[in-house]
A and B are shown apart, each in its own frame.
Chain A
Amino acid sequence: MSDTTTTIEQAPAEVSGRPIRLDDVTKRYPGQTKPAVDGITLEIPAGKVVMFVGPSGCGKTTTLKMINRLIEPTTGRIVLGDEDVTAIDGDELRRRIGYVIQAGGLFPHMTVATNIGLVPKMLGWDKERIAARVDELLELVSLDPDTYRDRYPRELSGGQQQRVGVARALAADPPVLLMDEPFGAVDPITRQRLQDELIRIQDEVQKTMVIVTHDFDEAVKLGDWIVVFEEGARIVQYDTPERILAEPANEFVENFIGSGAGLKQLTLRRVRDVDVASAVTVSPGTSGKDALQKAENAGHGHVVVVDERERPLQWLSRRQLARIETIDAKADPALPVVGSSATLNDALDTMLVSSAGAALVTGRRDRFEGVIDVETVMDAIRDARANAANSEGAPVGMNSGSIGLTPSLVAAGEAAQVAPDAGSDSAAGAAGSTEGTTDTERGAAG
């Protein structure tokens, strides 16, 4: 993972996550012949984001909910860190695991602060500590504590509710965060923003995250690892997004990826992974002449106007500067801005619609970092192609001892535990269901 190193450079946060291991876990509902989840063994590495994808009803959500034992597994063991948590008190376990659901699941009769402070309160924190933690978390999810602390959920937009939901899950600093379709209920633009936000937050907190989604693009964007499930929570492929895009395990995965795998590769690289060009910055109040002079000295065609917290306000060309007496502090609403954690895909999109053919890059707390243009992206694509070729032999095997090759491992494990004929039976069933799901996928697409 090339971006891990970048991440650590950017945010010297320690990995606070812990690994999770599901050991031959099965969930059987009474009155159903086929188990909902069938003998799954899965290792989730510490501090990584693992995405569960698959068609609806494939058991991915059931698998997720068995990690915090919202759904009790019928058989098998769940190990958190090096502690077997299969038999400990479920409520106590869940206080140690953050949980985010669609639309945040905020309690409407409690303020934002009360919502966030629930778990710390259950854990017996004192008032001041909870209040301080609430403010810290609101800052983390980019909501101003003074404005939002005492609001009620219905006074927030969907995206803001979702942010508070994430803050609430992080409240007691749990090592593990589980999310069930966290961005399912928001509009596409907000969803994209929330995804970027989550990536940035993960850079800071370095939790182990397991996220269920049915949106493969979201999985590619957010995941360090992706588990592709089919019916009965059968793992079809467990790999990095790069490799799943480059080498889908079978036709089922291929269909699930959908078209445009090449373009999707662009979503794997982030703006911060490429070199952004520097730019001339000036503050509001500077005279047009001075700014123009500065740009000419640096040999740049544009200057970026930033406010006192170095957030970009305007992006002015030399020609515009020549006509300006004094630069005002107005923020240009049409400013083409991408966050440094945005994907190259998003950056390209922003550039294409901006008149400048380039975009401003902002980092943490929206600070201006530089300019990205189409050439940079082209270079990155070339780079990515070369990398993908190299990554053929890349050490996915680092995790693969326990997970990378899980499909075969699980299959082997099953064959060992279950009677051999049952094993082949389920394999045939899986092949059949592959076709079935493919059809529904197509149907949904059309």
Chain B
Amino acid sequence: MSDTATRVESSRKSGWRLLIIQIVAILAVLAAVCIWITVAPLSATERGTLAPAALWNSTVQHLSLTFVSGVIVLVIAIPLGVLLTRGPLRKASGPILAIANFGQAAPAIGLVVLLSVFISSGYWASITALVLYAALPVLRNTMLGIRAVDQRLIEAGRGMGMSAAAVLFRVELPLAVPVMLSGVRTALVLLVGTATLAAFVNGGGLGLLITTGVSLYLYSVLIAGAVIVALLALVVDWAGRVVEHVARPKGL
């Protein structure tokens, strides 16, 4: 018995070690990029685009795109996912998932551009597209997580007199948390990547560095943009993993 306990303990510890290595590696690459930007022989235009203030601005914009759409996704997809596991709506969940799955195949770039036809603000057009694009992983994992809860535990809960709501909040959702969180992490990483496409419709963000780099043949700007976006995605992924690690219910 104590054997299991120590094993659990050690797996937790090794989990932390991996997380620390991950963030250290990311920060090291980030530092390297920063140094490269400051010391590389850049032209005036390049230096202007890569000025710290400008970079910071783009990064903040990018994060704003990511998190605003992320919050909207959570607010929509989690309740919807829960709802689709309840009673009569359960039957609708199969078709909805199938449709959502194929919706996922729609190219993100297409969605962003298409929505900008109807929404004049590039920022909100991008946000809408991002929400549509990232809702699926959260929705799917919410449903899968709840459905994966052992039916007998639900019966045990009802059998001891917990109301349906109490079973949902005290048993089903806590047990579904790991699966749901990994869906949220996937969605956020997806959002960081997809938010680069906002640059095409004047939505701002780090994608601007890439498009500028391409259209003006400024390779250093392009590379800096691409690397920073990739690092940002890795940081978000890392943060997601940390949350998952901390929020995982004990005993699982």
**Chains A, B in direct contact (C-beta < 8 Å):** yes
Would A109 and B160 be within 8 Å (CB), given that A155-B1, A156-B1 are in contact?
Answer: no
Collect the chain B residues with CB atoms within 8 Å of residue A300's CB.
Answer: none
Pick from A153, A155, A156, A168: contact of B160, CB below 8 A. A168
Would A94 and B152 be within 8 Å (CB), given that A109-B174, A154-B251 are in contact?
Answer: no
Collect the chain B residues with CB atoms within 8 Å of residue A169's CB.
Answer: 160
CA distance A109 to B161 in the complex (A): 19
- The minimal Cβ–Cβ distance linking A103 to chain B, given in whole angstroms, is 7
Does A109 contact B250, Cβ atoms closer than 8 Å? yes
- The minimal Cβ–Cβ distance linking B163 to chain A, given in whole angstroms, is 5
Interface membership of A99, Cβ < 8 A: yes
Does A102 contact B152, Cβ atoms closer than 8 Å? yes
CA distance A155 to B152 in the complex (A): 19
Collect the chain B residues with CB atoms within 8 Å of residue A270's CB.
Answer: none
Q: Which B residue's beta carbon lies closest to that of A98? A: B160
Pick from B4, B166, B175: contact of A109, CB below 8 A. B175
Does A154 contact B4, Cβ atoms closer than 8 Å? yes
Q: Which B residue's beta carbon lies closest to that of A168? A: B160
CA distance A408 to B88 in the complex (A): 41
Does A105 contact B161, Cβ atoms closer than 8 Å? no
Does B155 contact A105, Cβ atoms closer than 8 Å? yes
Interface membership of A46, Cβ < 8 A: no
- The minimal Cβ–Cβ distance linking A165 to chain B, given in whole angstroms, is 8
Does B155 contact A107, Cβ atoms closer than 8 Å? no
Collect the chain B residues with CB atoms within 8 Å of residue A91's CB.
Answer: 158, 161-163, 166
CA distance A92 to B159 in the complex (A): 10
B residues 162-211 with Cβ under 8 Å of A?
Answer: 162-163, 166, 170-171, 174-175
Interface membership of A240, Cβ < 8 A: no
Collect the chain A residues with CB atoms within 8 Å of residue B251's CB.
Answer: 108-111, 152-155
CA distance A414 to B174 in the complex (A): 47
Interface membership of B252, Cβ < 8 A: yes
- The minimal Cβ–Cβ distance linking A207 to chain B, given in whole angstroms, is 15
Does B161 contact A155, Cβ atoms closer than 8 Å? no
Pick from A106, A108, A122, A152: contact of B161, CB below 8 A. A122
- The minimal Cβ–Cβ distance linking A212 to chain B, given in whole angstroms, is 13
- The minimal Cβ–Cβ distance linking B117 to chain A, given in whole angstroms, is 47
Collect the chain A residues with CB atoms within 8 Å of residue B4's CB.
Answer: 154-155
- The minimal Cβ–Cβ distance linking B244 to chain A, given in whole angstroms, is 14
From A93, A95, A96, A108, name the one whose CB has the most chain B CB atoms within 10 angstroms.
A108
Would A107 and B153 be within 8 Å (CB), given that A155-B4, A155-B5 are in contact?
Answer: yes
Pick from A98, A106, A118: contact of B162, CB below 8 A. A118
Collect the chain A residues with CB atoms within 8 Å of residue B249's CB.
Answer: 108-109
Total interface residues in chain A, CB < 8 Å: 34
B residues 204-252 with Cβ under 8 Å of A?
Answer: 249-252
Interface membership of B156, Cβ < 8 A: yes
- B-contact 0/1 string along A380-394, CB 8 Å cutoff: 000000000000000
CA distance A102 to B159 in the complex (A): 13
- The minimal Cβ–Cβ distance linking A42 to chain B, given in whole angstroms, is 20
- B-contact 0/1 string along A91-135, CB 8 Å cutoff: 111111111011101111111000000110010000000000000
Does A101 contact B159, Cβ atoms closer than 8 Å? yes
- The minimal Cβ–Cβ distance linking B169 to chain A, given in whole angstroms, is 12
Does B161 contact A101, Cβ atoms closer than 8 Å? no
Does A99 contact B156, Cβ atoms closer than 8 Å? yes
Interface membership of A68, Cβ < 8 A: yes
Q: Which B residue's beta carbon lies closest to that of A153? A: B251
CA distance A151 to B4 in the complex (A): 11
- The minimal Cβ–Cβ distance linking B158 to chain A, given in whole angstroms, is 6
Q: Which A residue's beta carbon lies closest to that of B165? A: A91
Interface membership of A331, Cβ < 8 A: no
CA distance A99 to B156 in the complex (A): 7
Does B161 contact A96, Cβ atoms closer than 8 Å? yes
Interface membership of A70, Cβ < 8 A: yes
Does B174 contact A70, Cβ atoms closer than 8 Å? no
Does B160 contact A95, Cβ atoms closer than 8 Å? yes
CA distance A96 to B160 in the complex (A): 8
Pick from B155, B158, B252: contact of A108, CB below 8 A. B252
Collect the chain B residues with CB atoms within 8 Å of residue A168's CB.
Answer: 160
CA distance A194 to B61 in the complex (A): 63
- The minimal Cβ–Cβ distance linking B88 to chain A, given in whole angstroms, is 13
Does B156 contact A101, Cβ atoms closer than 8 Å? yes
CA distance A120 to B48 in the complex (A): 67
Collect the chain B residues with CB atoms within 8 Å of residue A93's CB.
Answer: 161
CA distance A68 to B158 in the complex (A): 10
CA distance A92 to B4 in the complex (A): 37
- A-contact 0/1 string along B123-150, CB 8 Å cutoff: 0000000000000000000000000000
CA distance A108 to B166 in the complex (A): 16
Q: Which A residue's beta carbon lies closest to that of B154? A: A105
Collect the chain A residues with CB atoms within 8 Å of residue B170's CB.
Answer: 107
Does B171 contact A105, Cβ atoms closer than 8 Å? no
Q: Which B residue's beta carbon lies closest to that of A123? A: B161
Would A109 and B1 be within 8 Å (CB), given that A94-B158, A122-B161 are in contact?
Answer: no
Does A70 contact B155, Cβ atoms closer than 8 Å? yes
- The minimal Cβ–Cβ distance linking A417 to chain B, given in whole angstroms, is 30
Pick from B152, B159, B250: contact of A152, CB below 8 A. B250
Collect the chain A residues with CB atoms within 8 Å of residue B5's CB.
Answer: 155
Collect the chain A residues with CB atoms within 8 Å of residue B158's CB.
Answer: 70, 91, 94
Q: Which B residue's beta carbon lies closest to that of A119? A: B160
Does B152 contact A101, Cβ atoms closer than 8 Å? yes
From B156, B158, B161, B251, name the one whose CB has the most chain A CB atoms within 10 angstroms.
B161
Does B250 contact A94, Cβ atoms closer than 8 Å? no
From A99, A119, A154, A169, name the one whose CB has the most chain B CB atoms within 10 angstroms.
A99
Pick from B155, B161, B174, B252: contact of A95, CB below 8 A. B161
CA distance A103 to B5 in the complex (A): 20
Does B159 contact A109, Cβ atoms closer than 8 Å? no
- The minimal Cβ–Cβ distance linking B176 to chain A, given in whole angstroms, is 10
Collect the chain A residues with CB atoms within 8 Å of residue B152's CB.
Answer: 101-103, 105
Instruction: Offer 18 A-B interface pairs, CB within 8 angstroms, sorted by A.
Output: A68-B159, A70-B155, A70-B158, A70-B159, A94-B158, A95-B161, A97-B161, A99-B160, A101-B155, A102-B152, A105-B153, A107-B156, A107-B157, A109-B250, A119-B160, A119-B161, A157-B1, A178-B159
Q: Using A111-B251, A122-B161 as known contacts, list a sample of 5 further A-B pairs with CB atoms less than 8 Å apart, ordered by residue number in A.
A: A94-B161, A95-B160, A108-B175, A119-B161, A157-B1
The 10 closest A-B pairs by CB, nearest first: A152-B251, A105-B156, A95-B161, A99-B159, A109-B249, A94-B161, A91-B163, A91-B161, A109-B174, A109-B251
